[in-house]
Amino acid sequence: MSDPAITAAHDKDGAAGVASAAAPRLRSAVTADLEELVTEVGTEDVLGG
């Protein structure tokens, strides 16, 4: 399944366009995963304290 925004960015700017278009989605996914991890194990464990 392709994302029209990412496809358009690729067609316009190549790999740089893809990275730029995908960055917000990737950032959001990583943030959600980190928040879930902190909730499951606790802040001290995640931060090494």
As a whole number of angstroms, the distance between CA 36 and CA 39 comes to: 5
- 24 or 42: whose pLDDT is higher? 24
Helix and strand numbers, DSSP H then E, in the chain: 2, 0
Spacing of C-alpha 7 from chain mean position: 17
As a whole number of angstroms, the distance between CA 17 and CA 5 comes to: 10
pLDDT tens profile 15-39: 898 888 889 889 999 999 989 988 8
Question: So where are the chain's domains?
Answer: 4-47
Give the pLDDT confidence score for residue 25 in this predicted structure: 87
Q: How many CB atoms lie within 10 A of CB 47?
A: 8
Give the pLDDT confidence score for residue 30 in this predicted structure: 93
- 7 or 47: whose pLDDT is higher? 7
